[in-house]
Chains A and B, each alone.
Chain A
Amino acid sequence: MVNYLIVFFAVTLMYFSSADRLTTYIKLIGIQGLLLCGIAIFELNEVNTANLLFIVSETLIFKTIMLPYLLTRIIQRSGVTKVHRLAMPGFNLLLFSIFGLLISVILAKILINPFINTIYLAIALFTLFTGMLLIVTHKLIISHLIGFLIIENAVFMFSLAIGNEMPMMINIGILLDIFVGVLILGFFGLRLKPHTNELTMLKD
């Protein structure tokens, strides 16, 4: 079952590359949260119950519900619905993404050892690559935030690649989540001026 979720997680990453509406990004972030929750339930069966409950509720409440809600509010307030017209076209981004998956698999194969699950590692590297690609090729700061959230999901996947022995890594990922939440609230939710794009544009 967990393999199904990993493959669908990878499929959502491809859709990140091809999407150009911010609402699609938000939906995909929510879906990824749900998939990560499922992966955590099936994979982390050896951690103690309290820790597992914490991780599951974190992915379910924070990643699946709160983050998409906050991001939707930001979009509504700023009135920005699509990625910037100067962002790299989705077609090129998809080509890079396909290439990125190849590189990730080769890297995962090079880094293989008995303690790491290869599929997890490959998809985690691919997630990291997709997040970085989104940050580098897009112009709006909200796209950068989305990229940052994807990288955070990559950290979560990395921790799962190592297995049940590293719950601390997952907790660090959660701390990163909270940091992102503060960032969103601090910079956008409270200070963004409606109907202007002076804070939505990071660079020309």
Chain B
Amino acid sequence: MAGFILIVIAACIFPGVILRTKSLLSGRKGPGFFQPVKDISVLMKKGSVFSTTTGLIFQIAPVVTLASILCSLMVIPFGEHRALLSFEGDFIFFSYMLAFGKFFTIIAALDTGSSFEGMGASREAFFSMLVEPAFFILLATFAMFTGYTSFSDIFNNFFITGNDYVMIYSIIGVYLLVQITLVENSRVPVDDPKTHLELTMIHEVMILDYSGFDKALIHIGSYLKFALYGSLIYNLIVPAEWNIFLQTFLFFTVQAFFAVIVGLTESFRARNKMNKNPKFILTLSAIAWIAFVVILIMTDKLV
């Protein structure tokens, strides 16, 4: 339960830190840390407008997406505290719940009948398909490393294996998770959330037709996903047996640091050309594959 609450709190601050980092780096005073939360509260008070072309799928998609993200939050542990839901193979549940939410976003985009949204949906589906192997290979590596297939057990036993490879898998894991987060949340260098040209959009073009309350739900989902991946990163670098107060402090520090990294990336890095994105994403899978191969050799599990 602690993990769930902390992730929700971190999600409120995360986008603010990104905005603040970007504005400071561009020499502006910028909005406050809680500006995105205020924007959401304004959107919440508004009603939704639906195009006559759209159907039921379009209307339920934001709720389903947010629900799926909340479900996937339940399997993330915090330190020694087990997750709300914890069972063997829960990382597969986690991944497919997120994929389920994305599936609804994609079919909702197709439901609008707009060629722009269809194009964005196609790109999003393709990039998600490419990033999925990286995530699964990474988690399979951790599962093989610790001998467990549940997030709670993997992270509780990750640092007590006493293996020399712990540090290297933490580094590779953090690097891959940061990149996967950027892909999954459609941020620079894969996508630019601030772009105004529909032809170059990926995620933003899919949610163009949403307004008011539904748009607020989509934004909440996006912020939660950031904090969710940040929580995975935290679990990879902080041993589970440390003091709870220190852990809570480190949790927010890691989340803030992660948000600053995203802000720095968006400030200093140009967006990839669209045709370079598949190669960029596949490189992540390739790096995860190297980690997997090394662990296969190390544990003598290669048949």
Interface residues of A (CB under 8 A from B): 3-4, 6-7, 10-11, 14-15, 17-18, 89-91, 94-95, 97-98, 101-102, 105-106, 108-109, 118-119, 122
The residue on B at minimum CB distance from A92 is B279
Interface residues of B (CB under 8 A from A): 164-165, 167-168, 172, 276, 278-280, 282-283, 285-287, 289-291, 293-294, 296-298, 302
Contacts of A119 in B (CB 8 A): 294, 297-298
Minimum CB–CB distance from A42 to chain B (whole Å) comes to 13
State the CA gap A4–B168 with chains docked (Å): 6
The residue on B at minimum CB distance from A1 is B164
State the CA gap A90–B298 with chains docked (Å): 30
**Contact present for B165 and A98 (CB under 8 Å):** no
**Contact present for B291 and A98 (CB under 8 Å):** no
**Contact present for B302 and A105 (CB under 8 Å):** yes
**Contact present for B297 and A118 (CB under 8 Å):** yes
Contacts of A101 in B (CB 8 A): 286, 289-290, 293
State the CA gap A118–B302 with chains docked (Å): 11
**Contact present for A14 and B287 (CB under 8 Å):** yes
Q: Which 8 A-B pairs have the closest CB atoms?
A: A90-B279, A14-B286, A10-B290, A91-B279, A18-B283, A94-B282, A91-B278, A4-B168
**Contact present for A98 and B286 (CB under 8 Å):** yes
Contacts of A4 in B (CB 8 A): 167-168
The residue on B at minimum CB distance from A122 is B297
Question: Contacts A105-B296, A119-B297 hold; do A11 and B280 have CB atoms under 8 A apart?
Answer: no
**Contact present for A105 and B293 (CB under 8 Å):** yes
Minimum CB–CB distance from B215 to chain A (whole Å) comes to 34
Question: Contacts A98-B289, A119-B297, A122-B297 hold; do A7 and B172 have CB atoms under 8 A apart?
Answer: yes
The residue on B at minimum CB distance from A89 is B279
**Contact present for A7 and B290 (CB under 8 Å):** yes
State the CA gap A89–B285 with chains docked (Å): 17
CB<8 Å pairs between A and B, sample of 18: A3-B164, A4-B167, A4-B168, A7-B172, A7-B291, A10-B290, A17-B286, A18-B282, A18-B286, A90-B276, A91-B282, A94-B279, A98-B285, A98-B286, A105-B293, A108-B297, A109-B302, A119-B297
